[in-house]
Structure formats: C-alpha cells, structure tokens
Amino acid sequence: MAETPSGKDKLLRYARVFVGGYNISGDFRTFGNFANSFEAADMGGVGEELVHYLSDGHRIVGISGFRCLMNDNTNRSMDLLDTADALTEVSVLFGGGGEPAIPDPCYFLPAAQMKAITSFDGGAGVVEADFLYDTLSYANAASNPAGVVLANADLTATADLGSHGVAALTTAGWHANLHVTATAAGNYAMIIEHGTDDAGWATLGTFVSTAGAVGSEYLTGTGTVNKFVRFAVTKTAGTATVIVAFARN
Amino acid sequence: MTAKIERYEVLILCRNDKTGKRFDVGGVVTSKDFKKAVINNWLEIGVLKPAPRERLNDGRDS
C-alpha cells in the first residue's frame, strides 16, 4: 500500500547519511548544497527588456561542502572519507517527522569523492568532502539524484515493503542505491518492483547483493517505471539492515 | 457468453498481492490473474508477451 511521507509539512529533524555500507549520521555536521541544476547560457546581445534563459545543457549534480566531525574510529567519517578519488555510494535521507521512512525524500549518488580536506572548526576537527557522479554511472543517463526512500528497515523475514506512487508512469529510466549496514548471516533476494495499480507487481530491478555482507550497490534501469514502486525481499536466512534510495530520471 | 481467457508468457517475474500468486519467468499469466489495464501495460513494456497458441486435441488452435 502506498505510504505517506513523514517529512511532509515538517521541519527537517532527522537527516541520515550513508556512505558505502556505513551510517555516519552521528558524525555528519553540515553540507554546502546538493546540486541538481543547469547553468544559464549566454543569449548574447544587450537590451533592457527581459529575456528568457537558455540552459547550457550541462547538468551539475553532486554534493559540495559535506562536512563531518573527524571521527577516526573504524568505518566512521575520517576512516571512510580521508582519501579523495574514492568511488562509493552516498545517500542522504531526510526525515521530517521521524527517522526517514518510505517515501521520505532523499538525495543519492553513485559517487566519486573529489576532495578530503581536514581542518578545525570552532575547536572541532572536521573532514570536508565533495561528491560528484561516478562518471561510469553517469554514462547510463541516470542523472536525477533527488529521490525517495524505499527502505530503511531491519530484514527478518520475507516482506513486501510499503509502496510509493507518483501521478503517472515515467519513461526515462530509474536508478537506486542500496546500503547494507548490518548483517547476521543475511541471505535475501532483494528486488525493486513496479506496478500500475498498487496490487499487481513486476520486477523492475534485482540487486546483486544478497545482504550477506556490509556494503553498497548502485542499480539502474531504462524505460518505463509504472506509477507505483516498492522494495521487496525474499528471505533465505539470517537478518540484515538495509537502506534503499530510488529515483526516476 | 463467457469471455475468452487469454494467456500470456511471463518475461519478467511478476506477482499479485490480492491473490498472493507469483509468476516466474517462462510461466503463464492468464487474463483472469490481473486486471486488463495491468496486462495491457505489461504487454507494452515487455513484462508479458502473448503465449503461443496450443493445438487442441481436435486439431484446432486454442
């Protein structure tokens, strides 16, 4: 059944940040911006009347000024972000009324970390990073980083998670980030499904990961995405904690 | 008059929440398993394709 976002009409209280298979929300401090924009192209000429803008066709997507406390524990911010030019999945989930849930908004990238600057800010050690699209993934034209949360859940059994619906089907493909942040001998088939009526579901994509190891995965697809989407798992064994961020292009 | 039941071959795994039925790749979906609009959409996007006709015992196509 289609879910209602917890973040609607609320101030943001619960941001969650996932890098690879790790939740570094506790270290996360501020960010500059989450870019998803075009520059205006020069129209030429000089006049006093207003002119319409043209896009330069160059879409800028990425996270800048992502700043974390310098936590050097294993798999925390400093440990994960101290080396630029690393490729990993990055997802930032926004929960307004509570812990981010289906289908709260999120911003995610198959990211290339472009810098790792360490400094002191008000006496606190911080590490600052920029993330841009991993260019290999960008070639798939999966370029919209603004999506929704399809899962933020502990997996213990076979389950169909809540669905998210938009006004109408889209036709320009889709992409998704999966983060497996914990596993206890987890073995799950994990798929994204789509459907026209929130009752009949077809597989849209299947993650390679079976939640047997902590880590992350980026998955893309082309063509039609029907009105409703959801995340579904089939259990073979164990338990796991997973996050799925999904966007239509 | 009874409507003819159409058969479709499954190209991508699909499921029906209401009946709990699961249709694996290579299986068969009939027009009774899903709403007509759902089936039409799936024919369009490649989830299903019309199943080849079977020969009946009397030699006619199904």
Task: With CB atoms and an 8 Å threshold, state whether A200 touches B12.
Answer: no
A71-128: per-residue pLDDT in tens? Answer: 888 888 888 888 888 899 999 999 887 889 999 999 999 998 998 899 998 888 999 9
Task: With CB atoms and an 8 Å threshold, state whether B17 touches A201.
Answer: yes
Q: Does the CB of B55 have a partner CB in chain A at under 8 Å? A: no
Q: How many residues does chain A have?
A: 249
Cβ contacts of A226 on chain B, cutoff 8 Å: 41, 45
A195-247: per-residue pLDDT in tens? Answer: 999 999 999 999 999 999 999 999 999 999 999 999 999 999 999 999 999 99
Task: With CB atoms and an 8 Å threshold, state whether B14 touches A191.
Answer: no
Range of the domain at B39: 7-50
Residue B25 placed within a domain: yes
Residue B16 placed within a domain: yes
Q: Among candidates A63, A74, A78, which has minimal Cα distance to A114?
A: A63
Helix (H) or strand (E) holding A212: none
What is the reported pLDDT for A7?
63
Band of pLDDT at residue A15, cut at 50, 70 and 90 = confident
Residues A211 and A233: their CA atoms lie apart, in Å, by: 10
Number of domains chain B contains: 1
Distance from CA of A197 to the nearest CA of B (A): 7
Task: With CB atoms and an 8 Å threshold, state whether A196 touches B41.
Answer: yes
- For chain A, what percent of residues have pLDDT higher than 90? 55
Cβ A79 vs Cβ A73: under 8 Å:
yes
Give the domains, in start order, of chain A with CATH numbers: 14-38+59-138 (no CATH), 149-248 (2.60.120.1110)
First vs last Cα of chain A: how many Å apart? 23
- For chain A, what percent of residues have pLDDT higher than 70? 94
Give exposure, B39-59, as e/b (b: 16+ Cβ within 10 Å). Answer: bebbeebebbeebeeeeeeee
Q: Does the CB of B42 have a partner CB in chain A at under 8 Å? A: yes
Residue B42 placed within a domain: yes
ipTM score of the complex?
0.83
Task: With CB atoms and an 8 Å threshold, state whether B17 touches A224.
Answer: no
Helix (H) or strand (E) holding B50: strand B48-50
Task: With CB atoms and an 8 Å threshold, state whether B41 touches A226.
Answer: yes
The answer on pLDDT for A57 being more than 80 is no
Cβ contacts of B31 on chain A, cutoff 8 Å: none
Which tokens belong to A125? 């050690």
Rounded to 5, what percent of chain A is helix, strand, coil?
5, 60, 35
First vs last Cα of chain B: how many Å apart? 17
Cβ contacts of A159 on chain B, cutoff 8 Å: none
